Each structure stands twice: as C-alpha cells, then as structure tokens.
Structure 1
Amino acid sequence: MFGFTIVENLQKINEDIEKHELKYHNKRVLVSKEFTFDAAHHLHCYEGKCKNLHGHTYQVVFGVSGYTDEIGLVIDFGDIKQIWKEQIEIHLDHRYLNEMLPKMNTTAENMVVWIYEKMHTALKGKREDFRVEFVKLYETPTSYAEVRREWMEHE
C-alpha cells in the first residue's frame, strides 16, 4: 500500500522560497489548451453526405509557446480560455458556420486556418514572444485538420 502524508508546513514565499527562485529556466515552452463547440454547416461543390446541412461536436487544440515569465509561467491557461471565449467561440458555438465565418467552404481545412489567424492576432497584442505553434480542429474524434506556425509563416 501507499503511504500518504498531510502537508504540515506549506511552503511560503519569502520564507521558504524567494521570488527570484520561482523562475527555473529561460527556455521556450509550449502549453496546450483544448476546447469543444457544437455547430452546423454544409459543404458546397461536394458530392457526399456533407453537402446536406449537418452538425458536429468540434474539438480545437491550441499549442502556444513562449518564454517563462518571472514566476515560471508562459501564459495563464485562463488567458487562452478568455481569448477563445471572447474572440473565437462566439463565432462558432451553436452557430450555422456558413453564415458566421468569412465566405469560404466550411471545411475543417479552411476553418482551422481562420481559427489560427484569430488566436495569432489576439496573442500578438499580449507579449512579443508568444507564438501559436499549431491548431488542430477535430471534426470527429478520429478526423482533424491541423495548421502549424511554420506553414503559416512560409506560405
């Protein structure tokens, strides 16, 4: 069996650890956050079931990199969530995508680039070292489109 202990002496800042010790390294680190949304769409110029109006529970995965700050964080996960909620999800969740997004065929391939661009623009205003490294958009649990920073910058 495992032995469990109760922490009796909770580490305290400026007693057990100093503020200058909170940052462990100066390396770039990738953090990732996932979200889901439900939406309806249909595809134009497509011969198959997806030409009809239908819906998905999409999953979005963001990979954001940067250098750790003075307390050892790249970006607070809550900040990524706030950008998602206020600037991206409002256009997607429980929406008819053909109506909400710019004029495009609402394929996962087109949508993932739009989502990348929205997150990239939002992060540019926060800190210079932030980079969106990738975005994955799952249309089903086994099918997704992905875009990566290097592809977006070199195209």
Structure 2
Amino acid sequence: MYGFTIVENLQKMDKDIKQHELKYHKKRVLVSKEFTFDAAHHLHCYEGKCKNLHGHTYKVIFGLSGVPDEIGIVIDFSEIKRIWKEQIEIHLDHRYLNDTLPNMNTTAENMVVWIYEEMEKALINNSNECRVEFVKLYETPTSYAEARREWMINE
C-alpha cells in the first residue's frame, strides 16, 4: 500500500537553500506546451472533401528551448499561454481561417509555418536565449504538420 508523507520542515529560502543554488545547470532545455482551437476553412485548387467549407478541432504543440534563468526556468508556462492567447489564438479560434490568416491556402503545412513564425516573433525580446524548436499542428487526432527550427533556418 502506498502512503504519503506530510512535509514537516518545508525548505526555506536563505536558510535551507541559497539563491545561487536554485539554478542547477547552464544547459539548453526544451519545454513544451499544447493548446487546442476550433476553426473553419476550405482549400483552394484541391479536388477532395476539403475543398468544401468544414471545420476542425486543431491541436498545437510548441517545443521551446532556452537556458534556464537564475532560478532554473527557461520560460514560464504562463508566459507561453499569454503569448498564445494574445498574439496567435486570436487569429485562429472560432474563426474562418481563409479570412483571418495571411493570403495562403489554409493547409496544415502552411498554417504550421505561420504559427511558428508568430511564436518566434513573440520570443525575440525574451531572455534566456528562448527560441522555437518545433511546432506541431494536428488537424485531426492522427494527422499533423510540423515545422522545425533547422528547416526554418536552413531553407
């Protein structure tokens, strides 16, 4: 049977641990956060069901990397959420994507690059050398497009 222990001596700053001990290393680390949104679109120059107006519940997964700050954090997960909500999701959630995105065919392949670029722009002034390593955009639970840093830089 599993039990749990009640912590009797909660670790206290400057008594049990010092400020300089909070950062354990200076190595780049990847953190990830995912979001969902619902949107409608249709594809141009396409002969299949997707040429008609239809919708998806999309899932976006961000992989962001950086060097942890003085307390051991690369980027606060709440900051990723803020960027998503204020700068990216407003163009996507419950929208007709053909109207709200730049002129493009609203394929997962085009959209994932746009999402990557928007997150990268939002991180420009971020400390900790934080950058986008990848973005995955699921159009269905089993189908996704991905943009990776090495492809975005070298191509």
For normalisation by structure 2, the TM-score amounts to 0.98
- Output aligned runs, 1:22-101, within 5 Å: 22-101=22-101
Q: Which whole-Å deviations, capped at 9, do the CAs of 1:16-56 have from their partners, x for residues lacking one?
A: 10110000001000000000000000000111100000000
What one-letter code is carried by the residue in structure 1 that aligns with 2:34? Answer: E
User: For residues 30 and 3 of structure 1, what CA distance do their matches in structure 2 show?
Assistant: 33
What one-letter code is carried by the residue in structure 2 that aligns with 1:134? Answer: F
> What residue number does 2:3 align with?
3
User: For residues 147 and 89 of structure 2, what CA distance do their matches in structure 1 show?
Assistant: 18
SS at match of 1:33: strand
User: For residues 12 and 144 of structure 1, what CA distance do their matches in structure 2 show?
Assistant: 45
User: For residues 117 and 2 of structure 2, what CA distance do their matches in structure 1 show?
Assistant: 48
User: For residues 122 and 2 of structure 1, what CA distance do their matches in structure 2 show?
Assistant: 45
SS at match of 1:11: coil
For normalisation by structure 1, the TM-score amounts to 0.98
SS at match of 1:133: strand
Q: Percent identity?
A: 79
Query: Pairwise CA RMSD of aligned residues?
Result: 0.8
User: For residues 144 and 91 of structure 2, what CA distance do their matches in structure 1 show?
Assistant: 19
Structure 1 residue 128 displacement after superposition: 6.2
Q: Is the Cα contact below 8 Å between 2:116 and 2:134 reproduced in 1?
A: yes
Structure 1: tracts of 5 or more residues without a match:
none
Structure 1 residue 127 displacement after superposition: 2.3
Structure 2: tracts of 5 or more residues without a match:
none
SS at match of 2:4: coil
Bigger mean CA offset, 144-153 vs 2-11: 2-11
Moved over 2 A (4+): none
